A and B are shown apart, each in its own frame.
Chain A
Amino acid sequence: MPEQPLYFESDYHRCEFISFCNDDGRESYLKVVTWSLISISTALIGCHTIIRGSRIYAERNLVVLTIGWFFLGVSWWSIAQSPWFEDAYTRLDVLAWMVCFIFGIVGTVYILSRIIRFTESMTPKDPPIEPLNDNEMRLVTEMIRRNLGDGN
């Protein structure tokens, strides 16, 4: 890889999209982090407010509902302000990475579920329960009769 020109050299140029270009990569990284945090936090606040304002748990509150949709709209606006999504979705290699990442997640969850099932299968089993004796049977029958009645 050629050595990067320093800031006082004539062929030095600021680059926005190449992560190894001195401090510009750091600036781009911080920009992505900041806008991602804005998108995620406004989406979370918006969803929470919409659920609080809807008729799931109480009466519908139009003001709260409108505020929630405003926050969700801000989240969409912040995504529209983030050019890296468009860059990513128009590149086949990035799309392939995203799909492979999902395959990796699914495979890992499957492996972990097999490990958990293996652990559960190693748990010592309790001995079979003894049947109820006459006194216990009478007690249970009486409890059911008192709670359910005689069916009348």
Chain B
Amino acid sequence: MLGFDFSIAGIESLGAMMIIAMVFICYCFAIHLIVTWNPYHRPAIPLVSSLILCMGPMLAMSLEKDGHSSFAEMLEIAFLFTSLGVGVIVLWMPIILVFVTFLMLIVSRKTPSEDPLIEMLEN
């Protein structure tokens, strides 16, 4: 079962995972900026940057085959990238759940101090 291909294809797939992570995070960040739009936060530059970082790899991938791109092809690639991103995050879930279970154990046994302000100052 154990085995890893350190060929060019293997290294390329590692780079592809980093690009997928970048697309996924930029996609989430762009949505976050749009739904919490506040002009006083000056969101235009971060939004344009995240859209460029998000769309760039998808456009490059859609142009790779025949040099032409279409909206449907871009949507397909966006779906592929986001589902792969969610899939990898789900793979991290048991490890995350170990930490969460440990935290819940602490929370369950926690007894609040008589003076939270003094406790906060001491810590």
Contacts and interface: CB of A to CB of B under 8 A. Distances in A.
B4 interface: yes
A73 B91 CA distance: 18
Contact of B14 (A46, A75, A76, A100): A100
In the complex, which range does the number of interface residues on chain B fall in?
Answer: 35 or more
Given A107-B18, A112-B50, A76 B25 contact: no
Nearest to B50: A112
Contact of B49 (A51, A104, A115, A120): A115
A18 interface: no
A97 B50 contact: no
The prevalent SS among residues of A at the interface is: helix
A90 B4 CA distance: 11
In the complex, which range does the number of interface residues on chain A fall in?
Answer: 35 or more
Contact of A65 (B4, B42, B108): B108
Contacts of B112: 55-56
Interface of B: 1-5, 10, 13-15, 17-22, 24-26, 29, 42, 45-46, 49-50, 53, 85, 87-94, 97, 100-101, 104, 107-108, 110-112
